[in-house]
Each structure stands twice: as structure tokens, then as C-alpha cells.
Structure 1
């Protein structure tokens, strides 16, 4: 087990911590880019996301973890999932918006707001799912992976993947079925 990395100490120790961070990051960079590339399907995007991960750690150097290499890989995977989620959200918003009818712009605006509220509810439901269930859902619905591919990649049975998907889909359906009053509207008091 490697010693914990603490780069929040005063200047001399901070320089050592930063040097250690850079060393571990560079050693893991290829693995992180490969992981992210498999998830997002684009090497250039993967390189950008791994660079973004580096900058996030560099800007807030108060990280203290036991196994930095493993932690970085996990963070890279989570960043890929976040990227897929945001890309999927943008696509669903554009696809879900109705064509603007010149005769009823207020009706079109109301429909657009309803789509936005439904999307917010679905995203909240997805965030509330266990990480593995959320990851399986995103790999299938956003990245387009089959259940078999997901099962192989995550070392699960296809039946387990199907059960996770059922849970995720039920959560999404339930979030839309909730009365609109149960969902906080943007700009409302918290």
C-alpha cells in the first residue's frame, strides 16, 4: 500500500506532494484516457476530459488519498459518465422541443417548460440511483452499449445488467409520474 498523498501541507511539502501527484498522474494518463475513450467513444474527447481532470486536481491541491492511482482512474470514469450525461441531456432537450407553431407561441413555451421539468426530474432520479445502476443505464442509453457488452465490461451477468436497467427505467418513469408540485421549479425558494 502506498503512503497517503497529502498535498495540503505547507510549501516545501506541497511541492513534494505536487511532484508526486504529477508523477502518478503521468503514469496513469494512458490508462485513464483508454478508460474514458471506451466510455465516450472518442479519443480526442477522452484526452480533453483527462486534461480537465488534471486541472481540477491541480487547482485544488488539498487531496488526501491512500491510493492516488486508483482514485484517479475512478475519477476519470466518473468524469466520462458526467460527460455522457450532459451530452445526452442536450440531445434530449433538442429532440424533445416541439416545433414552434406561429399560432400558439405560449403553448409551445409551456410544452418546452414541461419537457425541461421532466428532464430535471429524470436527472434527479438518475442521480439518486446507486452508482453501478446509474453507470449501466448511461452506458446503455447514452453510449449505446448492449446489455451483453455492459455485462462483459463490468464483469456481471447479463441478468444482473437487465435488473439494474429495470430499476433505472422504473425510477425514470416514477419521476415523470410524480405530480409537478412535488418537483421544485427553477428559481423557486429552496
Structure 2
């Protein structure tokens, strides 16, 4: 979470007008760098612009922080806001996965089918967590957020072929996780 000074109860601005002008000048000069940094982390230019705008509003509403190098501080805050966004997205995805209704199972129903489906889901989740960050991010942008390969390639500064290769790796890892046999506890016969 980005740590900003607490918002005062009565919003009195005791800063000099020059402080606000300096902040605005530095923020505007760093905006493209902050958006590029956030874009690299979240993989979406529009989201990056929104997050940097939110960062501006947070700073503008609160008393300004006195820091040695404001431009460096802003970049660090932009990186932190990107991380916060990714964490909240991960939480949202996990929550929505928990709310998804399973389609009727044509191979059977009941506790055994539910147990097998739960095991399959855990295997796929573990396989996705084991992927390199970029590959996992590309997979999530495509499969969860519905982005096309060309959109992902443009947003991440990759070729469409590279995005396709990352997706093939991710899908192969998911398939392989479902083919691996369940490890048996020691002493148990098959």
C-alpha cells in the first residue's frame, strides 16, 4: 500500500502556492515515465494512465510531503501503486473464481467428481503460479481479461509471435499439470 501522510480533518492548506506549482511541474514532467513504469507492470496502457491519475489526485488532496527528490519519490509511488493494483486484481480474480458456477459434469456428479474437479483446479493454479511472471501475466490478460494477442503484444511491447509462444507455454503447463499423477502418501498402495 502506498503510504501517504494522513488527511487532516479540516482541510487547511498551509503550503505556499509555489509548493503546489513545483509539485505540478515535477508531476507533469514525470508523468510519462510513471505511466511507462506502471504500464510495464500491469500490462495495460489505459489502466496505467488511470492509476497515475489516481496518484495525482491522492497527492493533490493531501498536504504535500517534503522529500529530498520529488521526482524519485513519485516514481517509487507509481511503482507501488502498480503493485497494489496487481494485488487487488489477483484478489478479485481469486474471489470471482470462487463464485463461478461449475457446469454440469457429463462424466458423473457427486462428491467424487467435485473432489476431482477441485484437485484439477489446484493443479492448474499451481502450474500458473510456477510460470515466469511475464508468461503468467500474458495468460491472465488473455484468458481472464479477454485481451487479444495483438492487444497484449502492443501493451507489453512484444511481438505477437512472442505473445503466442508465451501462451503456448502457459497452456502446455496447464495441460501437463492435469496429466501428472496425484502423489500418494508413503505406505499407501495404488
TM range (shorter): 0.5 to 0.7
SS of the residue corresponding to residue 146 of structure 2 reads: coil
Q: Name the counterpart of 1:133.
A: 135
Q: Does 1:79 align with 2:87?
A: yes
* C-alpha distance after superposition, 1:16-37 (max 9, x if no partner): x7529xxxxxx89xx78xx97x
Between the aligned partners of 1:163 and 1:94, the Cα distance in structure 2 is 31
Q: Which one has a bigger Cα radius of gyration?
A: 2
Deviation at 1:97, TM superposition (A): 5.4
CA RMSD across the alignment = 4.2
TM-score by length of 1: 0.54
Larger relative contact order (CA 8 Å, sep ≥ 6): 2
Query: Number of residues paired by the alignment?
Result: 133
Any unmatched runs of 5+ in structure 2? 7-26, 59-71, 186-190
Q: 1:68 aligns with which of 63, 71, 76?
A: 76
Q: For the structure 1 residues 97 and 76, does the alpha-carbon distance in structure 2 shift closer, same or farther, using more than 3 Å as the test?
A: farther
* C-alpha distance after superposition, 1:128-147 (max 9, x if no partner): 11111000000101111110
Between the aligned partners of 2:178 and 2:85, the Cα distance in structure 1 is 28
Contact in 2 for aligned 1:118/1:176 (Cα 8 Å): yes
Between the aligned partners of 1:127 and 1:113, the Cα distance in structure 2 is 21
* C-alpha distance after superposition, 1:138-185 (max 9, x if no partner): 0101111110010011111000000100110011011111102269xx
TM-score by length of 2: 0.54
**Larger helix proportion, structure 1 or 2?**
1
Between the aligned partners of 2:4 and 2:81, the Cα distance in structure 1 is 18
